[in-house]
């Protein structure tokens, strides 16, 4: 009996060992398979992250390079200087109809001015009245880029404020017609000594009180004049209870001065303009 049981035990041991070995082999193979899959996943993830980082770096480089090509008003404001002694104001007798131009030039300029005058909010009774208003627009021919072909500096005679601030445009000759390259508002304008992309910088001055107002600084970029800065100017300073006149205007960026506004009360019109003109004399 004992011998028989011993034989059975001895016979079952190889089977048990075989089962254990099989199970161990299966477990090891499974772990190796899982490890290989995880390793493959990690390699793919690392490669994907590397590609993503490279693409992000390229995007950052492109955005950084592009930002350097775009003009920033803040940078332009840092070096702003108003050549106020060169300020000009167009007179009523400097109308398009009185300009020393050929009839073809006059017609081409009037054709461009017509829709701009029509957009000023004035109700014209007829087309002929609109065309007359276009030809009454004050103009001056000024070569702004030195190419020998003068640009048209124009100022409307309607749509003006009580202190003389009127619609202001600059037109550039393009083949047989003229195109708009600056649209603003001004009482006086200054062709600056400085230039941008071959065109002289322009400062438009809007009159406020008898001794203050605001300035708009324009530079030529991408085919047209763009506003690069806004400033407030003052020709007086308050010292205690007395107001002292200045020999040079005090200029402050608009975002650093509070409550700056352009006055439009008729009571300031003639006196304020005369006062401003007197101070413009060097």
Q: What pLDDT, in 10s, does the model give residues 108-153?
A: 999 999 999 999 999 999 999 999 999 999 999 999 999 999 999 9
Calculate the average pLDDT of the chain: 79
**pLDDT > 90: percent of the chain:** 59
131, with CB counted inside 10 A (0-12, 13-18, 19+), is middle
pLDDT digits 0-9 by tens, 197-215:
999 999 999 999 889 999 9
**Contact of 211 with 271, CB cutoff 8 Å:** no
Supply the pTM of this predicted model: 0.66
Which pLDDT score is estimated for 275? 42
Both tokens of 109, joined, read 């300029």
225, 170 Cβ separation under 8 angstroms = yes
150-170 pLDDT per residue, tens:
999 999 999 998 888 999 999
For residue 84, CA distances in Å to 66, 203, 250, 253, 281 come to: 34, 9, 11, 16, 10
pLDDT tier for residue 47 given thresholds of 50, 70 and 90 = low
Give 11 or 96, the one with higher predicted confidence.
Answer: 96
Helical packing angle, 103-118 and 127-135, nearest 10°: 110
155 forms bridges with which residues in the sheet?
138, 168
């Amino acid at each position: 009996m004992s011998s028989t049981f011993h034989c059975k035990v001895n016979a079952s041991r190889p089977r048990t060992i075989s089962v254990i070995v099989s199970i161990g082999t299966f477990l090891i193979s499974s772990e190796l398979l899982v490890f290989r899959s995880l390793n493959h996943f990690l390699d793919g993830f690392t490669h994907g992250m590397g590609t993503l980082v490279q693409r992000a770096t390229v995007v950052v480089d492109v955005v950084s390079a592009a930002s350097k090509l775009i003009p920033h008003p803040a940078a332009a404001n840092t070096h702003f200087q108003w050549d106020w002694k060169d300020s000009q104001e167009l007179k009523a007798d400097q109308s398009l109809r009185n300009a020393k131009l050929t009839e073809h030039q006059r017609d081409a300029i009037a054709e461009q001015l017509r829709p701009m005058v029509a957009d000023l909010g004035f109700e014209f009774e007829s087309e002929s009245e609109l065309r007359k208003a276009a030809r009454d627009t004050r103009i001056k021919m000024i070569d702004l880029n030195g190419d020998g072909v003068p640009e048209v500096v124009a100022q409307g005679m309607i749509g003006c404020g009580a202190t003389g601030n009127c619609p202001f445009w600059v037109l550039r000759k393009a083949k047989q017609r003229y195109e708009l390259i600056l649209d603003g508002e001004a009482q006086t304008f200054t062709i600056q000594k400085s230039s941008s992309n071959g065109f002289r910088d322009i400062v438009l001055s809007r009159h406020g009180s008898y001794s203050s107002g605001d300035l708009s600084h324009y530079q030529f970029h991408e085919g047209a004049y763009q506003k690069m800065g806004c400033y407030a100017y003052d020709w007086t300073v308050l010292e205690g209870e007395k107001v002292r006149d200045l020999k040079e205007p005090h200029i402050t960026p608009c975002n650093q001065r509070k409550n700056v506004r352009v006055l439009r009360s008729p009571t300031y019109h003639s006196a304020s303009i005369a006062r401003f003109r007197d101070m413009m004399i060097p």
